[in-house]
Amino acid sequence: MKTIQAYRFALDLTAGQEREVLAHAGAARVAHNWALARVKAVMDQRTAERSYGVPDKLLTPSLPWSLAGLRKAWNTAKPEVAPWWGEVSKEAFNSGLDALARGLKHWTDSRNGARAGRPVRFPRFKSRRRTTPSVRFTTGAIRVEPDRMHVVLPRLGRLKLHESARKLARRLDNGTARTMSATVRRDGGRWRVSFTAEVDRAERVPARPASVVGVDVGIKNLAVLSTGELVDNPRHLAAAQQRMRALGRALSRKTGPDRRTGRRASRRWERAAARLGRVHARVANLRRDGLHKLTTRLATTHGTVVVEDLNVTGMLANRKLARRIADAGFAEIRRQLAYKTGWNGGRLLVADRWYPSSKTCSGCGTVKTKLFLAERAFTCEACGLLIDRDRNAALNLAALAADAGTAGSGPVAGRGADQKTRVRGQVAVKRQPGTTSVDQTGTVPLQGRTIDRVLTQAY
């Protein structure tokens, strides 16, 4: 199975090498800003000409937004715009132009309805001081040295790694990977290089192919599995909060930048900001490491993993829980499981967003109309089951695997739940296989089996 995979390694650059990398990142920013200014100028000119009644055939020719079109325009103008262009690699300018071309395409697709998700804004100019330095190489000498502690990049030469690149080097030596690009980027005060490679992964099978596990993510426990395991939430952000507050107060006492007056930040402010940035980077690294270990263990152990389609954006609107939800990384867990289950021969099932996993009794199937967040134990009034709220939700998610045979590749129909549960009265409901929505006769769908139970549902 061939897939696109990234390998990221920390770098130990000398002062001279860091200046070279910054020069390449600056060249990418110059090309991006120049092309964006040209695009905006042409758009404004054509808009003005249309307001004067100029026919479309006589309008100023538009500038192509593709990478090839932007590169052609840049090559024509670079002797005047950047007479120093020969001092850096051509890949630096190509990196900035490619970023602009992708940004323009995303903006166009978002306006035309071809791109899902939030509306994409029009590309903005990149600032020298606020933009993260980054440059991408796609051609030229890109390789890992035999000692696996150095890499070679175009014009930058031989760069020392902070850690061994043996994982990527083994695949390159065996012929199971092909390097496509390399990106150098400064993140959290440290320079890193990311290799994008086409990897030929061997077919794998989970340790327990027939095992089904439901994963209910939360704040108290990062994940509660249907097997009964509780994954503790390390709360890295909360642990570093006291240190961040102290550094934030120290930063506020320094002379910072002011965009209104054009005042530049003092050296002490820059050093204080760097200290605070390193703490944030450490929290992000700890969180990333924990999530990778959890998702890798689930994907390599169980054949089927069932999660919920959570509205994380809506959950972050709760100002009392937003920080803890963001610290847990709910969306990242699902994103990692999506590709890791495919790598290891398993499958990931996503329950419908409106499926009441916490309100449904895992024993008899009765659905509660109300279950407040403060109620951490689920008590079923029909069968008398008393169980932890999160464990009950995980068991219900695991039970959905039996219904996934006809659910397709999208979210599993959450046992017929296609809208939020509301309190308006109780009706007797009979579940029948093959149906897909709640109808006026009281039929609730369940793909693959028939269950008679009493539900409280709004009609």
Q: What is the pLDDT of residue 458?
A: 30
Q: Go through 194-211 and write b for each residue having 16 or more CB atoms within 10 A of its CB, e for each that does not.
A: bbebebeeeeeebeeeeb
Long-range (24+ apart) CB contacts under 8 A made by 337-340 are 337/215, 337/295, 337/298, 337/299, 337/305, 337/307, 339/3, 340/295, 340/296, 340/298, 340/299, 340/300
The conformation of residue 140, written as its DSSP 8-state character, comes to: S
Least confident of 100-104, 134-138, 401-405: 401-405
The conformation of residue 198, written as its DSSP 8-state character, comes to: E
Q: What is the pLDDT of residue 428?
A: 33
Q: What is the pLDDT of residue 405?
A: 58
Catalytic residue among 308, 327, 352, 403: 308
Condensed to tens digits (0 to 9), the pLDDT of residues 348-381 reads: 999 988 888 889 998 888 888 888 888 888 888 8
Condensed to tens digits (0 to 9), the pLDDT of residues 296-341 reads: 999 999 999 999 998 888 889 988 889 999 999 999 999 999 999 9
Q: What is the pLDDT of residue 419?
A: 53
pLDDT-derived band at 1 (thresholds 50, 70, 90) equals confident
Quick check: 434 pLDDT over 70? no
Q: What single-letter amino acid sits at 19? A: R
Burial, 362: exposed, middle or buried (Cβ in 10 Å; 0-12, 13-18, 19+)?
A: buried
Q: What is the pLDDT of residue 216?
A: 93
DSSP letters, 364-419, are T--B-S---TT--EEE-TTT--EEEHHHHHHHHHHHGGGGGGGS-SS-B--TT--S
Number of H helices, E strands in the chain: 11, 17
Averaged pLDDT of the chain: 86
Least confident of 98-102, 259-263, 395-399, 446-450: 446-450
- Cα separation, 458 vs 356, in Å, equals 14
Instruction: List, in order, residues 6 or more apart from 371 with CB less than 8 Å away.
Output: 358, 359, 378, 389
Percent of the chain scoring above 70 in pLDDT: 88
The residues that bridge with 444 in the sheet, in sequence order, are 431
Q: What is the pLDDT of residue 402?
A: 80
Catalytic residue among 216, 327, 352, 403: 216
User: Is 390 a known active-site residue?
Assistant: yes
- Alpha helix (H) residue ranges in 82-226: 90-112, 166-174
Catalytic residue among 98, 327, 390, 403: 390
Quick check: 9 pLDDT over 70? yes
pLDDT-derived band at 110 (thresholds 50, 70, 90) equals very high
CA 441 and chain centroid, separation: 42
Residue whose entry in the numeric block shows the structure tokens 């395991």: 229
Condensed to tens digits (0 to 9), the pLDDT of residues 35-59 reads: 999 999 999 999 999 898 888 888 8
Burial, 158: exposed, middle or buried (Cβ in 10 Å; 0-12, 13-18, 19+)?
A: exposed
Q: What is the pLDDT of residue 442?
A: 31
Q: What is the pLDDT of residue 413?
A: 53
Over residues 397-414, the mean pLDDT reads 65
Residue whose entry in the numeric block shows the structure tokens 């409901």: 429
User: Is 309 a known active-site residue?
Assistant: no
Q: Go through 420-442 and write b for each residue having 16 or more CB atoms within 10 A of its CB, e for each that does not.
A: ebeeeeeeebebeeeeeebeeee
